[in-house]
Amino acid sequence: MVEITTGVDDPVFLTLFTLFLRAECGSCVSGVTLSRKVTFAKGADHSCVFLNSIFGKQKMQFDIKPVTCWEQFIPGHIVEFSYYWIPHQGILSGVNPRERKIKVIHYGASHLFATRTIMEEEMTVDLNTTNFSIYYPDPRYSYTPEEVIRNGKRRLGEQDWRPGNHSDDFCLACVFR
C-alpha cells in the first residue's frame, strides 16, 4: 500500500505525475488530484482506493480490468479512457456494439480549454487501437447500475468542475452510497 499526498496545485504536474504512477504501478492509480491524499493498494484481482475528501475517508473497492471485448462494457459502471490525451473517467450509459459506439456521462468539453460540463457523449470505439478500462464496483457499497446512470443524468449540464469535483469525483459520487 502506498500513500501519496500532493500539495501541488499545478494540473499539468499532477497529470504527468499520475501518468508516471500509472506507468510504474499499473492502471490501479486513479484519483491523484489537487491537494488530496490518496491511498491505493493493488491486489491480484482488485484495487482498493481510499480517499480523504470532503466526505471523510472512504474505501472503494473495484475490479479494474482492461476492456478487450464488447461484453465487458456494462452500463452503470465507471469507464476510463483517454480524453484530450489525459486519463479520464465517466459513467458508461449506453453500448452499441453493432455500430461500435458507447455513451458516457462525464465532465467533458467542446475543446481542451472550454468550460467543463457534465454531458452525455457518444464515442466511436475501436478496441484494437484504443485502451479502455472498466471499474467493477463492490455491490455491497454501490448503487445498482440503473441508479448509477440515473445519478449521472441528474447532473447533466453541471459546470462545477473544480478541485474535489473532477471527473473521478463525479463518478465516485454516482456509484457509491
DSSP track, 75-139: TTSEEEEEETTEEEEEEEEEEETTTTEEEEEEEE-SSTTSPPEEEEEEEE--TTT---EEEEE-T
How confident is the model at residue 118, as a pLDDT?
96
Mean pLDDT for all residues in the chain: 76
- Report whether pLDDT(16) > 60: no
The pLDDT-based confidence of 107 (bands split at 50, 70, 90) is very high
How confident is the model at residue 53, as a pLDDT?
41
Mean pLDDT on 48-69: 62
Q: 68-82, pLDDT tens digit by residue?
A: 999 999 999 999 998
- Report whether pLDDT(97) > 50: yes
How confident is the model at residue 47, as a pLDDT?
52
Task: Specify the higher pLDDT residue, 145 or 167.
Answer: 145
Q: Checking phi first, is residue 122 left (phi over 0); if not, alpha (psi -120 to 50) or beta? A: beta
